[in-house]
Structure 1
Amino acid sequence: MTKGDPAHPANYGRVCSKGAALGETLALDRRLLHPVVNGARASWDEALDLVATRFRTAIETHGPESVAFYGSGQLLTEDYYVANKLMKGFIGAANIDTNSRLCMASSVAGHVRAFGEDIVPGCYEDLDEADLVVLVGSNAAWCHPILFRRLTDARTRRGTRLVAIDPRRSATAADCDLFLPLRPGTDVLLFNGLLAHLARVGALDTAYIERSTAGFTAALAAARDDAPDIGTVARGCGLDPAQIDAFYAAFAATRRVVTVYSQGVNQSSQGTDKVNAIINCHLATGRIGGPGMGPFSFTGQPNAMGGREVGGLANQLAAHAGFADADDLARVRDFWCAPRLAERPGLKAIDLFAALGEGRIRALWVMGTNPAVSLPDGGRVRAALAACDFLVVSDCVVGTDTARHADVLLPAAAWGEKAGTVTNSERRISRQRAFMPLPGEARPDWWMLTEVARRLGHGDAFPYKTPADIFREHAALSGFRTGRRLFDISGLAALSDAAYEALDPVQWPVPAGQKDGTARLFTQGRFPTADGRARLIPVRQAAPANAPSLGAPLVLNTGRLRDQWHTMTRTGDVPRLRMQAPEAFVAVHPTDAAAAGLRAGALAEVTSAWGRAVARVSIGDDVATGQIFMPMHWTDEAMPGGSPGRVANPACDPISGQPELKHTPVRLAPVALGWEGLLLSRRRLRPEAIEHWSRTPIEGGHAYRLAGAGSAQDDLDRVLALLGDRSGRAELRDARRGVFRCSTTDETGRLLDCLMMGAPGTLPDPGWLLATFASDAPLEAGTRRNLLTARGGVPAPATGDIVCSCFGIGADAILDAVRAGSRTTAELGKVLKCGTNCGSCLPELRQLLALQPGIQTREQPCPSLS
């Protein structure tokens, strides 16, 4: 198990379930280890010469705006810096965007409108010192479990109260003191109502408003027009007025308030307005810049902020410079000595891939991300990638949905092989140090980009030999004619190679002459605007773009799971991380499931105006009626059709360009099946001849769920073709019942494959079969007979749904411990170890305890919101 650094101030050694399993993602069996050109292995010179030639040809024939880069929040800052400099400074177009557009762009736009710059004002210590923390559109218990554990620790230690605002009863909502299940897309109305309430009850800081802000009168007028009273807010948000009253009263009465917001706010066609509605409430009460207070954007990727610092979004220049400011353009042009510097924003992600499909982008380089899966309107994106004149993909793995379309594949360094820096949500720059050698011919992204820049004739501007060279230039640019800008790390511009290697975590700004960072900003009520004042922005509630109609009456919400990362190119291959959710699923309220004729565990079709997805049905009341939820992670590599990107709403916020991934009008219908099957195999297969299939890693190999609309007999030959011609095959056929089972072994009697087919809902419990498959020992004769009869000789112990992925502890084992006397999460941890590593399972442990008679789940008294 991977362990964290106990001295690092961001996590003090705690790591989430994904972090704890990082060591299990280091295998080289799916690594891209050498360049590939048109499907054949190539040398680096051959691959890079081709990339430079094709990009040069496109630029000379169609202009610089005919080429583009699409990056990732998983690049290091140094990689980002070189990519941005090459595209904007020397190719001369701003067509470089990133998957951070999908998670942070609305926060960026809201920060710039309110503060004059993309600034997160607070620090993680504010989570420890707040008296009230409001989590809006943030399932922090799963997506930021280390930070959420700080919140629950603060609740135990000092009585911090927690409020969750989310359409879905997530693990976070279930573990808070108050939960407001607002109607999707109504966040602006709720926070406009809060601003109006604060004015009504005299909870404003009029001195701060007068001294440090502008725009208050217009913002309050808009709020009052939207939300004249709590009843209006309750009707619009679909909430009980008592819930709203409790939230508003707690906010009004509490000085130390932190409002945490994340993708539920950002991923919206009104995301920027939602961000400003939240910030308005903090500015109007002066609750910003002090300990335990302020709006706090929890970033969605490890280095989304580092990318923003160097201009990794299409509408930014480097070092927080902007295209609208002539001085900024001159500053970056002069520093880079780049006479062809782009002078206008480039194409944001959704527009970039639209331009790709229309042929306006002729050459595209995708770096460390999988847009075929992650972007909305996925069918259109895949078609654009397939039609691209010249597609380069640099990644560390083979076979992603995007990489399958590439003309050139470049083997990139993975996280344990990279050296550079990242910046987290609290503006803290940390050194990432490689602890493994580069495998095969893999290289860092900055190196590839530098080599292409040299081949394009820009070698003098790209002299980098190490990441330290790049970082020093980045730091120097941040302090070059800064003006009023707060982003400034020029105090680090003269670091020696040794000092860069030893750099301790530091929060920017770090201006010239300073080595220590700055934890909190705006402490004096001054902002990086022309007059030093923050702006309250008048915002109004509006319906989400493409709201549901009678033809598509449900709202699809998408999001993350606790144990998976993005499109699970690495985490998806770790068996214990896939135990939480082996297949793509759609969560449905019982009322909607009954109306659509769906049963739990069956396949359902989700359709929208943009496409179709298929997933397993999960029925429960965590989602409200009229809403469904799908996790974002599934790809065609794991479950074709399981990605919600295929149906997701491509409408974007008009300011930030961030797509509406939380509100897609959809329909639900059962998938008619004639048979289902389960195949366990030592091999990694791609059963494309099968109508519906999924692949899940298990101990010893892979589990495949198979299904088809025809009869099992009609599809049997296609299924058997997956096994190949194996001599050690034993079979059982029952045509009358539509049952087929077989197993194959090698010459030693070791099980290689096991297949079961039958009518939907008739497959046996696979628990004992999985345990048998996990063993490499030769099968005994009785065990082989059991494989065909589907009767296990020794039943495997029941575990129930996995709750603690770090230690593989299931619900049944937890309930056994409760029946044996464990009454708190601490006692469960002593007995089973669950909840003692990352803590992301603690909310679920408390829920399980709450179901048991006579057990109080609040392990230390906490003040009520009232």
Structure 2
Amino acid sequence: MNINAPAPGLLATTPLPTPTKTTCAYCGVGCGVIATPDGLGGAAIAGDPAHPANLGRLCVKGAALGETLGTGHRILHPAIHGVRTTWNRALDAVAKGIRDTVDMHGPDAVAFYLSGQLLTEDYYVANKLMKGFIGSSNVDTNSRLCMASTVAGHRRAFGADIVPNCYEDLDEADLVILTGSNTAWCHPVLWQRIEQAKARRGTRIVTIDPRRTVTADSADLHLPIAPGMDSVLFARLLVEIAERNELDSNYIARNTIGFDAALANAQEIAPSRAEAAARCGVNEIDLATFIEWWLATPRTVTCFSQGVNQSAQGTDKVNAILNVHLASGRIGKPGAGPFSLTGQPNAMGGREVGGLANQLAAHMGFSAEDIDRVGRFWQAPRMARGEGKKAVAMFEAIERGEIKALWVLCTNPAASLPRADAIRAALRKLDFLAVSEINAHADSLIEAATVVLPAAAWGEKDGTVTNSERCISRQRPFLSLPGEAKPDWWQICEVAKRLGHGVAFDYASPATIFREHAALSAFENEGERLFDIGALADLADEAYDALEPVQWPLPRGATAGTKRLYAEGGFTHADGKAHFVVLAPPVLKAERSADYPLLLNTGRVRDQWHTMTRTGLSPRLAQHRNAPFVEVHPEDAARYGLTDGDFAAVSSPHGQVELRVVVTDAQQRGSLFAPIHWTDATAARARVGSLIHALTDPVSGQPDSKAVPVAIRPWTMRAQGFIVSRRRLPMPAWLNHARMTVDEGEVVSFASPRAPDALHDLLSNWLNLWTSPLNQRNPASGLYRSASLVRNRLEILLSTSPEPDETGLAWATELLAKESIDAATRRFILAGRPPSAAGSTGRQVCACFGVRSGAIEEAARAGADSVEAIGKVLKAGTNCGSCQPEIRKLLEGMRMGV
């Protein structure tokens, strides 16, 4: 979509860059983006002020998308057993692998594993091929790891997977509950809307989270709930809504069933406020405050995310939240409703087309009626007759040898699934593994593959995505496909043709697929299924290309989407009612033990995404949290002999990782927190997925990654240091290290049990720095540095010492970015600091403008004593705003002398 065509009559020898409206590649907020290619393979990125999801705002990850478009890491050609081949041979091999497996072992010996980062059109054809033409439902998605419990909870309560509300409700709410959501970091654009509502209308914010996150630091009330006890909290709320006569009795009577049983169940789970507070591990006064605020505030939105979903009782947690909104009639109304904040950019689109193993397309299930309907629409010769294996069960079946052939698209199960080490081994047991991927460094996946297919990346893809508020947006290409890369939908359709299904998969473009998807949503649908986008089923190619963001339902004849649902009922159970759900007794399914006395909670950091295959390419995103870490409460640190900044080994029955220790009272006693992002491509012995157990929710099949029994112990490191280099370095497997991209190169930080001098010698030999004229050895301090310059440019610098050296690292990174180092600066190369270090010290706080904590502290001492004042002086916090809670906390610490 060209939004900057040259004016009539304007002549130019060089065409102007054409801005393209597209959608961000990251979380489920679904922000609109304007990308302007630079003609060199990159693009300038800006927020789209016309997109309803973000109104021009972008978080730092979205703003940095232009820094992630390089192709140096890309897979550019098909390969069979690691040898480059043609597309014809590669596609023939994939079709043969599937056909041979079906012929020898049946269709259920084949599986597809998909991703919430696929476009809806990719998802649609993958599901159609597997469930309608191969004849198996063994097609699941990494969305199973993040949102499956929400899907199951919605279906139990509403009859369909429906988010009832819209983002505008965050602007109009008087109380926002954030449960299991570090919104300031994981959904920053929505967090800005919430904070603006707080400033404009006095909206109160309550966080419910075992950790005191930066989101909690900015909340009016934080409830540090015990792991797994969310449903106890909401059960008690339901009891008090009934006891205080705050029920919407008319709504309950007209639109729901099962309330009495749900209330009796809630009374059993949380018979008194005192008992509920004790089980939840929260102060009874704080619990009372939460309940009073809820009862007094009709405009209440409850946002929930991974902390609710990623649990062995995640579906019950979701239904506990839905129960209180149904009981109070606070659903589908302005400023009121339960709101699932989706993790991935197109998890919702995947749910629409049946991307989960327990669903058919267009929100249909595996009833005989739905199977028949979808089969007739597709003219499918081999319709799957029942649910397939969900993600964890799918890979357990691979381990057992039941699934023989697998096609993985746009995700890496070897890094992200529970028991990641075992999954790596299972992938090598397959008779056939096809991988559609962009990243040549996909951890262990590429090495195990029979066939590797180069896929299209963000910026090259063409199709649609659906965000958390049911808004369908176009993702448009603005870059050419590099090498021989091809879109995922094209790859799937070409394999389908080779399997003999050419007529059913003869799509000319994503627009053709989308029209069929929209038509299926309306097929024999007289309002029984709320997912209906029949109004889009006849879009011409030009109209599809120009499609503006639109919410569903959008049935035939409709000219505008629907913002809110269920305020007047209209549920999609056969009886037309919402169903209150009776909850199982809330207990931790995996208990601590003498061998594993702590619980591990996993999650994200602010500036990284999943396994960093995209965000890891951006220099500014690397600075905020540049290496793997584990957070430990001070009392646990003392108990287990851990010191802030040192290293610890964290182990479970499934694996071990070695992480830097962060001691913080934001972490609960008895629990640890570690982020999920680092893999062997970006670190060594830091894959947190290797620790996670395979315990899943019995309803949704979603794995529990928030309460994993683990042990921790000191892991002595005598030497630490860093390498800055202009090229990617092959690092020795024995070295604990982490990589990050910086301007003009990369930084590798490392630690080792070896003494600093011995380690420096080993690494100098490894890096061929032994004979460099730039060497500094100070045995008294344990400091050793070596560097190499070529034509007055720093090529590589190695620093080894007993302790971390953040100032030295910042200086070395600054030197690496210099095109030429003058004589006056050259003598400071090994000094570990610039001639003047003012403002350049400390960790990066604001990634948008590269502002470090040292600069903020200097500005504060000079009188900038508020977040707003810091913004005026340094610009920090004035763009995406996700660093504002940290700036606020830093200023508060300075005032308190911390």
Q: Same fold (TM over 0.5)?
A: yes
- Quick one: which amino acid aligns to residue 269 of structure 1? A
Matched, 1:627 2:671: yes
Q: Name the SS for the 2:252 alignment partner.
A: helix
Aligned to 2:47: 4
Out of 318, 325, 329, the residue aligned to residue 286 of structure 1 is 329
Separation in 1, partners of 2:297, 2:174: 7
The equivalent residue for 2:446 is 403
Residue pair 2:839, 2:855 contacting (<8 A) in 1 also: no
Shift of 1:821: 3.1
Q: 1:13 to 1:791 in 2, by over 3 A?
A: closer
Indicate whether 1:379 and 2:421 are aligned. Answer: yes
- The reply to whether residue 815 of structure 1 matches residue 860 of structure 2 is no
In structure 1, distance between residues paired with 2:721 and 2:872: 40
CA offset digits 1:431-487 (Å, max 9, x no partner):
111111112211110000011100111101001010000000000000111251111
Distance 1:762 1:511, change over 3 A: closer
Shift in Å, 1:332: 0.4
Q: Aligned with 1:260: secondary structure?
A: strand
Instruction: Provide the rounded CA distance (Å) in 2 between the counterparts of 1:339 and 1:740.
Output: 69
Shift of 1:343: 0.8
Partners of 1:475 and 1:493 within 8 A in 2: yes
Give the aligned partner of residue 351 of structure 1. Answer: 393
Structure 2 residue aligned with 1:548, among 592, 596, 611? 592
Deviation at 1:714, TM superposition (A): 5.2
- Measure how far apart 1:192 and its partner are: 0.6
Asked whether the equivalents of residues 793 and 816 of structure 2 are also in contact (C-alpha less than 8 Å), the reply is no
Aligned counterpart for 2:464 among listed residues 421, 424, 431? 421
The residue that corresponds to 1:360 in the other structure is 402
% identity of equivalent residues: 53
- Deviation per CA, 1:558-604: give whole Å up to 9, x if none: 11111011111010121210111010010111111121111122121
**Alpha-carbon shift at residue 65 of structure 1 (Å):** 1.1
Q: Are the counterparts in 2 of residues 750 and 779 from structure 1 also a CA contact under 8 Å?
A: no
Tell me the CA shift for residue 709 of structure 1.
Answer: 2.5
Structure 2 equivalent of residue 448 of structure 1: 491
> Which residue does the alignment assign to 2:237?
194
C-alpha contact (below 8 Å) 2:806/2:843 kept by paired residues = no
Contact 1:219/1:537, CA 8 A, preserved across alignment? yes
Single out whichever of 556-565 and 594-603 deviates more from structure 2: 594-603
Match of 1:832 among 859, 868, 874: 874
Name 1:514's counterpart in structure 2: 558
Q: Indicate how the Cα distance of structure 1 residues 624 and 817 shifts in structure 2: closer, same or farther if over 3 A, else same.
A: same
- What does residue 269 of structure 1 align with? 312
Answer whether contact 2:256 2:578 (CA < 8 A) is retained: yes
Cα distance between partner residues in 2 of 1:763 and 1:304: 38
* Correspondent of 1:205 among 235, 245, 248: 248
The residue identity in structure 1 corresponding to 2:376 is D
Aligned-partner Cα distance in 1 for 2:245–2:665:
38
1:151 aligns with 2:194: yes
Alignment of 1:474-513 (within 5 A): 474-483=517-526, 484-513=528-557
Residue 669 (str. 1) matches residue 713 (str. 2):
yes
CA deviations on 1:141-181 (whole Å, 9 max, x unpaired) are 11111111111111111111111100001111111111100
Conserved 8 A contact 2:769-2:786: no
Aligned partner of residue 65 in structure 1, secondary structure: helix
Task: Give yes or no for contact 1:799–1:809 (8 Å, CA) kept in 2.
Answer: no
2:433 to 379, 384, 391: 391
Alignment root-mean-square deviation, CA? 2.0
Given the alignment of the two structures, is residue 182 of structure 1 paired with residue 208 of structure 2, yes or no?
Answer: no
Paired with 1:81 and 1:517, the residues of 2 have a C-alpha distance of: 22
Q: Determine helix, strand or coil for the equivalent of 2:238.
A: helix
Return closer, same or farther for 1:243/1:797 CA change in 2, 3 Å cut-off: closer
- Report the 3-state secondary structure (helix = DSSP H, G, I; strand = E; otherwise coil) of the residue aligned with 2:406: strand
- In the alignment, what sits opposite 1:463? 506
Q: 2:64 aligned with 1:21, yes or no?
A: yes
Q: What is the CA deviation profile of residues 331-355 of structure 1, one whole-angstrom value per residue up to 9, with x for unaligned ones?
A: 0000001131111111111111111
Please report how far the alpha carbon of residue 361 of structure 1 lies from its aligned counterpart in structure 2 after TM superposition: 1.6
Per-residue CA shift, 1:223-266, capped at 9, x if unaligned? 00111111001110111100000011111121111110000000
Query: Which runs of no fewer than 5 residues in structure 2 stay unpaired?
Result: 1-43
Question: What corresponds to 1:862 in structure 2?
Answer: none
Residues 266-308 of structure 1: per-residue CA shift (max 9 Å, x gap): 0000000000000000111111121111111000100000000
| One-letter code aligned to 2:545 | E
Hey, what's the Cα distance between the residues in 2 that align with 1:633 and 1:2?
A: 24
TM-fit CA distance, 1:124: 0.7
Contact 2:218/2:885 (<8 A) preserved = yes
Per-residue CA distance 1:780-823 (angstroms, 9 max, x = gap): 4x755654565755546434222211111122222333333334
Partners of 1:390 and 1:407 within 8 A in 2: yes
Q: 1:738 to 1:180 in 2, by over 3 A?
A: closer
Deviation of 1:735 after TM superposition, in Å, equals 6.8
Supply the AA of the counterpart residue of 2:488.
Answer: D
Residue 598 of structure 1 aligns with which residue? 642
Residue aligning to 1:694: 738
**What is the CA distance between 1:501 and its match in structure 2?**
0.8
Post-superposition shift, 1:854?
Answer: 10
User: Normalising by structure 1, what TM-score?
Assistant: 0.95
Q: Which amino acid aligns with 2:789?
A: T
Alignment of 1:209-288 (within 5 A): 209-288=252-331
* Paired position in structure 2 for 1:858: none
Task: Describe how 1:707-746 pairs up with structure 2 within 5 A.
Answer: 707-712=751-756, 715=759, 718-724=762-768, 728=772, 730-733=774-777, 740-746=784-790
How many Å separate the matches in 2 of 1:837 and 1:497? Answer: 36
* C-alpha contact 2:521 2:531 (8 A) present in aligned 1: yes
What code does the residue aligned with 1:16 have? C
Structure 2: which amino acid aligns with 1:511?
P
- The 3 A distance-change label for structure 1 pair 320 and 761 is closer
Query: Which residue of 2 is the match for residue 864 of structure 1?
Result: none
Q: Distance in 2 between matches of 1:242 and 1:764?
A: 45
Aligned-partner Cα distance in 1 for 2:580–2:208: 22
Q: CA deviation at 1:760?
A: 5.0
The partner residue of 1:649 within 690, 693, 703 is 693
Q: State the shift of 1:643 in Å.
A: 2.1
- Asked if structure 1 preserves the Cα contact closer than 8 Å seen for 2:806 and 2:842, the reply is no
Following TM superposition, by how much is the alpha carbon of 1:779 offset from its aligned partner in structure 2, in angstroms?
Answer: 6.1
Q: Distance in 1 between matches of 2:590 and 2:758?
A: 42
Deviations 1:119-156 (A, max 9, x none): 00111111111111111101111111111111111111
Distance 1:336 1:72 in 2: 23
User: Measured at CA, do residues 59 and 153 of structure 1 come closer, stay the same or move farther in structure 2, by a change above 3 Å?
Assistant: same
Inter-partner Cα distance in structure 1 for 2:474 and 2:872: 35
Residue 808 of structure 2 contacts residue 833 of structure 2 at CA under 8 Å; is this kept in 1?
A: no
In structure 1, the residue matched to 2:185 is 142
TM-aligned CA distance change 1:626 to 1:125, over 3 Å: same
Find the residue that maps to 1:24 and give its secondary structure.
Answer: helix
Structure 1 gaps, min length 5: 856-866
SS at match of 1:331: helix
Counterpart check, 1:754 vs 2:797: yes
Alignment map for 1:47-196 (pairs within 5 Å): 47-196=90-239
Residue matched to 2:621: 577
Once the two structures are overlaid, the 10-residue window that deviates more, 337-346 or 259-268, is 337-346
Cα pair 1:676 1:763 within 8 Å, conserved: no
Alignment of 1:328-347 (within 5 A): 328-347=370-389
Change (3 A) 1:350 1:522: same
Q: 1:859 matched to which residue of 2?
A: none
CA contact (8 A) 2:113 2:406 kept: yes
2:255 and 2:121 map into 1 onto residues whose CA distance is 36
| Equivalent of residue 636 in structure 1, options 680, 698, 723 | 680
Stretch deviating more after TM superposition (221-230 or 357-366): 357-366
Say if 1:262 and 1:791 are closer, same or farther in 2 by CA, change over 3 A: closer
> 1:613 is paired with a residue of what secondary structure?
strand
Q: Indicate how the Cα distance of structure 1 residues 852 and 785 shifts in structure 2: closer, same or farther if over 3 A, else same.
A: closer
- Contact 1:767/1:796, CA 8 A, preserved across alignment: no
Measure the CA separation in 2 of the matches of 1:480 and 1:852: 63
Aligned with 2:459: secondary structure? Answer: helix
What is residue 861 of structure 1 aligned with on the other side? none
Please give the TM-score of this superposition, normalised by the length of structure 2: 0.92
